[in-house]
Structure 1
Amino acid sequence: MTERLPAAAWTARDDLAALVQALDPQVQGNCRWVGGVVRDTLLGFAPKDVDMATTLLPDETAARLKAAGIKAVPTGIAHGTITAVVSGGSVEITTLRRDVSTDGRHATVAFSTDWQDDAARRDFTINALYADPRTLDLFDYHGGRDDLAARRVRFIGDARQRIREDYLRILRYFRFQARFGSTPADAEAEAAVSELAAGMKGLSRERVGWELMALLTLPDPAPTVRRMAELGVLAQVLPEAVVTGLEALTAHEQSAGVGPDALRRLAALLPADTALAEQVAARLRLSVAQRKRLATAAARDDAALDARALAYRLGMVEAQDRLLLAGESVGVLDGWAVPTFPLKGGAIVARGVTAGPEVARTLRAVESRWIAEGFPDEVRVAELLDAELAKG
């Protein structure tokens, strides 16, 4: 009996049906749903993206979309990918491929019309699942359905060969292991990633940074990150990492009901060293905003923390980072808006203070008292100003 993909909300979308009709009007079976959308639907998850594989060449794919009035964007045409823009979002449509050569970072591919060629070049069995867009019949060439049922992340074919084709697959392996895998993990996969970990040194920092942040976004990455350390993988991408910090943070997040945040978790993996945090952020090609936030988190110390004072001085997100990294509660910040200091320099000048350094000093002094007293109203700020000016 043919196994079928269970019906889901996305399988009933009119825009996707129109897309299939545009590409395969004669019902020749030239396109199938593939990868994560099939895998996640089998697991009962709402898929993040919808991807399609096709026997059509990219130019033909684009021509058929255009003829049907569907916008086609050549997002990766060199590798056979056309993005169809439909009302429910974008769908990547990629021509079937087979690898011609690989160098550990990039692959030279040739287009194919053989579904098994395409399946054989994919990384893991659970990502090489296809479904007919009309009947939802499943196509599984490498035992991915059984692996998915067993929560087993397994490379297609020889694990070492798959990794040598693209060393980023080591990090992808751990990301999928954290999301879908059970323990004990696949022995061949673990042996291969440990043996070939040094090959990741040739990868671009952007690719490494993206995979690492994607892993840290998952609900509970700490056990997987510890296994990465045990297998010698973590030292290749983040030699500064201290796994116990991540374990403590994720446990605190879970007990406090706080959702995952990749940057905060990266901070937990690093010592409290601002210069080191900036070096890591630069190495992983993080954005300017991310670098600043990571450095702010790294400036933490063991002093007693006033949550609202931190939020005022650093910002709400940065204060939450510091509190959670310290194992403190963030509840006092719930529903609280950071106030604006109600005193301006002009009010001090109006009281007879000459504009210049003395005004700035007075502002800082009154502001410090205002923060210490828990951000009282303007009446109290006026009293604090009176007291400060009386000192002069």
Structure 2
Amino acid sequence: MTEEFHRIRRLPPYVFAEVNKAKASARARGEDIIDLGMGNPDTPTPSHIVQKLVETVADPRAHRYSVSRGIPGLRRALAGYYERRFNVGLDPETEVIATLGSKEGLANLAAAITSPGDTILVPNPSYPIHQFGFIIAGASVRSIPATPDEEMLRALERAVHHSVPKPTALIVNFPSNPTAYVADLDFYRELVAFARRHEIWIMSDLAYAEIYFGDRVPPSILEVPGAKDIAVEFTSLSKTYSMAGWRMGFAAGNPRLIAALTRIKSYLDYGAFTPIQVAAVAALSGPQDCVAEIRNIYRERRDVLIRGLHAAGWDVPSPEGSMFAWAPIPEKFREMGSVGFSKLLLKEAGVAVAPGLGFGEHGEGFVRIGLVENTQRLRQATRAIRHFMSAHNAAAPAPRRDPAVTDSVS
């Protein structure tokens, strides 16, 4: 009985473990580590949401088992959000389900619809659960390009014609974690047309719908006519309302997929704690000024980070959305790979980032930098990176100023 269990054998070693171990050791030695590696929001949850939680917790009836698919008021609130934000109508009874964060929903839907040996199409690089949720369920994953453009569409056509068996599902995630790519509605129209033509399910991860910085407001794939025939979309309150630890997410769209997820969840959980669900209603249906405020915080942080990295001689593209910058490893350090570079940056600059390899083999050559510290700490981080780059004679020529970074931030 020394062999690993079958499903565990299908999971590779956790790429982030080495960096996390080094980070923990540095902190144990008393070192000040600026942690930009994990996408963990540091801003407080808006007060009116917290107040609703506290108010509901005081009711003893709220401490009973809840409803696995979400209390009716919460499902109606999510449908109301889609109506206001995307002009998409949803039936709260058949087209909406609450999940314990979008990650749980994705993994359980994968388990519900996957047969061993199914082929699933997943962008590479991507958030780990996008591929490993299906790998755990017994599927085989075929990688496709992560860019929302013709390159991805051509790869999808090739995948249909050269995969055995034919793909059954496709995962997309825009604004993307980790790459920060943003898709437009025209791209989703082509994607929906492709999926309907080839009878392939689409699972869209829209967790960063409200974290965007330019004029391109991220759309929902469900805005495309006919999308609900083949698509389900996952959203989350984690980033929009700084509620990551509350674990409150949703799936919405195709009734058959929602029914499959509802059925499998009915065997696995009793839903989120009722006071959290009630507070989530307050988030979705209450004042929305906080959403713009949180977005502006991330915009300011993005500008500070990108300007500071450029000043250090590290040419990093300015993200249009999400709470991350997807940074190509400076040429001087490229041969050591993303894990080696992340460990060196942690050791010598005291800045933790996420190695791109952790998001798939095509993430190698990049690191993900989170906008998860205040502007003062980000300036401290970029100063440390500047000294690090200078010590290694690694600074590239100062890049041309990125117009996406505003002049208002010094």
If the length of structure 2 is used for normalisation, what is the TM-score?
0.20
By relative contact order (CA 8 Å, sep 6+), the higher-ranking structure is 2
Q: Which has the larger radius of gyration?
A: 1
Q: Normalized per residue, which structure has more helix?
A: 1
